[in-house]
Amino acid sequence: MESDFDPNGFDGVWRMYLPDSKIKDPITGEWVPEVLKGQLLEIRTDGDVMDYRIRIDITDDLTTYMKYTCRFGDEEWAPYTVYHIDGDPNHEMLKPSDILKGGTRLGEPVAFIKQVYVDPRTQYRITKNPDGSAQYVMLRRLSEDRQRNVGTVLTAEGEAEIAKHFIRDAGPAPIWP
């Protein structure tokens, strides 16, 4: 890694800021408010290794928990795995979709990822489906004051479809299942 390598600005707990988070409506192509109830994520780095955990509140009665550990710039793909589901594991919202072709299943990866460091405020996550096909690329960009980060997701065809805004959460670290 480069001598000025410093991914630690993203370390901490981040809560999705719903008023600014948008997704593209698949029918109209217009930007609309995020449909998820919320997301909470925790990023920790140790040297060039990132540990990432996320809680996704899909509906009032369905929450998924996923995680991955990867080395920035590694040649190996790291599994992005569902490790806990609160709610019905057969819920319609967990079925295969355009983005998650394999769906969301407990104990299974939803994707395989590579994490790319660009500079202290910029990272990319490259993903592929478990079948090996391209999934999406996410640009994660940290604000200058390091209190907000925006994750912009591009489809495999290069179309921006998701723009999620996260605010640094100053509360205690979450207790993960």
Mean pLDDT, consecutive 10-residue stretches, the chain (177 aa), reads: 83 98 96 97 97 97 98 97 97 90 94 97 97 97 98 97 97 93
Return the amino acid letter for 125.
R
Q: In the CATH scheme, what is the code of domain 7-27+35-168?
A: 2.40.128.20
Alpha carbon distance, N-terminus to C-terminus of the chain: 33
**What DSSP letter does each residue of 71-127 carry, written as one string?**
ETT-SSPEEEEEEEEES-TT-GGGS--SS-TT---TTSEEEEEEEEEEETTEEEEEE
Per-residue pLDDT at 156: 95
Q: What's the whole-model pTM score?
A: 0.94
Residue 3's pLDDT is: 65
**Predicted local confidence at residue 168, as pLDDT:** 98
Single out the residue of 5, 12, 52, 50 nearest to residue 149, CA to CA: 12
Residue 46 near residue 38, CB atoms below 8 Å: no
Structural domain spans, the chain: 7-27+35-168
What pLDDT is stored for residue 72 in this prediction? 98
